[in-house]
Structure 1
Amino acid sequence: MQTIYKTRITKFGSAAFDFMEDKVFVLFGNNAPEDVAEYCLLIDLSKVNGEISKGDIFQLGGKSYTITSVGSKVALNLEQLGHITLQFDGKTDEGLPGTLYLENTPFHKPEIGSEIIIIKQ
């Protein structure tokens, strides 16, 4: 198994967990505009080392989720801005360009300092 992405959550916006009912988290790099940052889990920018693919493993705070679909701009946006949407609905077609779709399973609120890791399967 190869780690293709690794970062850490540094801060939560005041409304970052308002979308949990919709099974959504929004990630953004620490340089997010203030009006957007309040809705995001803020992360350190990090390089993507390989292709993110369906079937890979997304880890959030030590819990693992299978990636079910990858939007066409996920890797680029993640590396350049740290900005993608995490959708825990199990969608299997490509969907929105900046969205990483994860298995439809119960998920948790991460903590500040939690690692985000993507592992090639």
Structure 2
Amino acid sequence: MDIKAEVTAIGPQALTSGDPMVILFNETASAALREVAVIQKFTDLAAAQKMTITVGDSLTIGSQTYPIKSVGKLVNDNLRSIGHVTLVFDEAAPLGLQNALHFAKQPKPSFTVGTPIIYHCHENEPHQ
């Protein structure tokens, strides 16, 4: 299942050089969070509510695909509710971040308004 999103805004402090992390939120993010986050909008919100990301899934940002090495235990609930996840492009970074997806160490991808983000993941039954 591919869940598509698009970058709609980038906070002035969201892409600090030398920092292997990128924070994503949906458009409900507060003004303070928008300063440090990349804002994403899912093209199909109903499908996004059903996704479940697991190790071995991948994320495509622009034209580059990144295999997921680790999934924090809050990632799926946070993505479904507020479009939030922290992307960590360094597997040596602490794995204790409960809201993080970890990838192999590599330069962060480029983000611009309009950059597509595709979550290649599993479909989950909606919570009752």
* TM-score tier after normalising by the smaller chain length: 0.7 to 0.9
User: Equivalent residue for 1:26?
Assistant: 23
Q: SS of the counterpart of 2:105? A: coil
User: Equivalent residue for 2:57?
Assistant: 56
* Shift in Å, 1:67: 0.4
Paired residues for 1:1-121 under 5 Å: 2-3=1-2, 5-18=3-16, 20-45=17-42, 46=45, 47-91=48-92, 95-120=96-121
* Shift in Å, 1:86: 0.6
For residues 24 and 60 of structure 2, the distance between their equivalents in structure 1, rounded to whole angstroms, comes to 14
User: Which one has a bigger Cα radius of gyration?
Assistant: 2
* Shift in Å, 1:48: 4.3
Q: Which runs of 5+ in 2 are unaligned?
A: 123-128
Structure 1 stretches of at least 4 aligned residues deviating more than 3 Å after TM superposition: 91-94
The normalised TM-score by structure 2 is 0.81
Q: Which runs of 5+ in 1 are unaligned?
A: none
| Per-residue deviation, residues 43-95 of structure 1 (Å, max 9, x unmatched) | 11441434211111111112111100000110110111111111011259953
* Shift in Å, 1:106: 2.5
For residues 28 and 14 of structure 2, the distance between their equivalents in structure 1, rounded to whole angstroms, comes to 16
| Per-residue deviation, residues 16-37 of structure 1 (Å, max 9, x unmatched) | 112x412110001111110111
The normalised TM-score by structure 1 is 0.86
Counterpart of 1:22, as a letter, is D
For residues 71 and 56 of structure 1, the distance between their equivalents in structure 2, rounded to whole angstroms, comes to 13
